[in-house]
Amino acid sequence: MNAIIQAILILTLLVTGTSTSTTKSFIASGPSMSPTINHGDRMIVDTSSDLDIERADLVIVAANDKQYVKRVVGVAGDVIEKTTRDSITIHDKKYESVIWGDVQYPIHLAEDEFFVLGDNLNNSLDSRSFGVVTREQIVGKVISIEQ
C-alpha cells in the first residue's frame, strides 16, 4: 500500500506540472529518524524555494557542513523551554530526552526560524545540539519515503 501512495504522489507531481527539477533523491544515513525513516531509506525531497514549512514536516537541513533529515517541532512564535534536566517543552508538548550541547533555553523562535528534532530522541544530532535552523538552512521537504 505504501508503494501505491508514493507512486500516486510522484505521478501527481508530474501531472500537475510541477517541475521535476525541484525534486531530489536522498538516502538516509544513521538511526536519528527511526522508526519513521531508517538507515538506507530513499527519500524524495521537494527543494522548491517557496515551500511552506509547518510543524511536523520532515525536512532536510544543512548544519555543521552536513545535511540531516529532521522533523520540524518548533515554528515562528514558539518558545522552547527546558523543563527538567532531561526534557524540553515546545508548544505545550513535552519531549523526554537527554539535553546536550551549548544551546541556551528558553528559545524564542522568530520568523523563518525552526526547531528540529530527530524522531529517535536519544540518538539524534538536531536543534538541541546545533541550535535553531533558519529557512535558508532548509534544503527541502520530504514528500515520499521508500523503505
The set of catalytic residues is 32, 70
State the Cα–Cα distance between residues 37 and 123, nearest whole angstrom.
13
CA atoms 143, 134, 62, 126: torsion sign: negative
Provide the b/e sequence for 101-133 (b: ≥16 CB within 10 Å): eebeeebebeeebbbbbbbbbeebbbbbebbbb
Task: Tell me the three-class secondary structure of 93-143, residue by residue.
Answer: EEEECCCCCCCCCCEECCCCEEEEECCCHHHCCCHHHHCCEEHHHEEEEEE
